[in-house]
Amino acid sequence: MKITFLGGGNMAIALIGGMIERGFVAQDIQVIELDADNRERLHKRFGVRATGVADAQALACDVLMLAVKPQQMKAAVAPLAGALKDVLVISIAAGLRLGDIGRWLGSAATPYSRIVRCMPNTPALIGAGITGLYADPSVDAAGKEAAGRILAAVGSTVWIEDEAQMDGVTGVSGSGPAYVFHFIEALEAAGRAQGFDEATARKLAIDTVLGAARLAAGSEDAPSVLREKVTSKGGTTAAALAHLAQAGWHDTLVDAVAAAADRGRALGDELGKD
């Protein structure tokens, strides 16, 4: 499987590194990257071909990974309009809808349709991401298998049946690491307020979140059951959870995810304009 990346930023680097670790051949991977320094780094680090233009060799691929920023996508794919033939296109650009990408790659009358839309998150940079994927109905089982295999190189994957739900993926897992980092910040601040030095407070906070996540990932119990198991009636945990409930913490987080999803939809509307 020959794969070409349009864009050589952090997520492309994570994907290329993960793919090579999992048996993809460097000689089958190419990157179209405008920045000369980035091209040199990509070639030296991974042994992949890096070019500054979408030349015939770069487009002689089975999969084209769209890995540029959403705001730059329309201009970046303009030179490719009408040039793709049976290439599986995978977009990792947040917010951009398949219909808009297809129109830019083809035309309003005949949009390109063999596209998979993905939303990885930043833990993909260390191979611990979660990616939501949605495929245009024209993508066959082999195309979906190829997309899943590529994105699995940086973590786990879930397939979404309705493209409209991709904004929800963005709200939950795409933006989700920031919520967790913010929680760690608050837990660390709480530790310092209890008299711990910064290093100790940070270790207590990070390792608590890490351990709890590992326990939840490896348990057959739902998170609500795990929470109940560590909450003794009238105990310290119960006191803390009662305070969080009084502050509306649960509903606030649900509303925050909804706000992120709403913004994702709005960005899709804005970026998809002709």
| Residues that constitute the known binding site for NADP(+) | 6-11, 67-70
Q: Coil, strand or helix: which one is 5?
A: strand
- By the 8 A CB rule, do 88 and 63 touch? yes
Distances (CA, A) of 138 to 89, 114, 144, 151, 186: 12, 6, 10, 19, 46
For 185, phi then psi, to 5°, come to -55, -50
Could you list the residues known to form a binding site, using ranges. Answer: 6-11, 67-70
Closest CA to 58 of 33, 16, 78, 30: 30
Distance CA 155, CA 22 (A): 12
- By the 8 A CB rule, do 90 and 107 touch? no
Distance CA 13, CA 131 (A): 16
Closest CA to 237 of 246, 228, 225, 224: 228
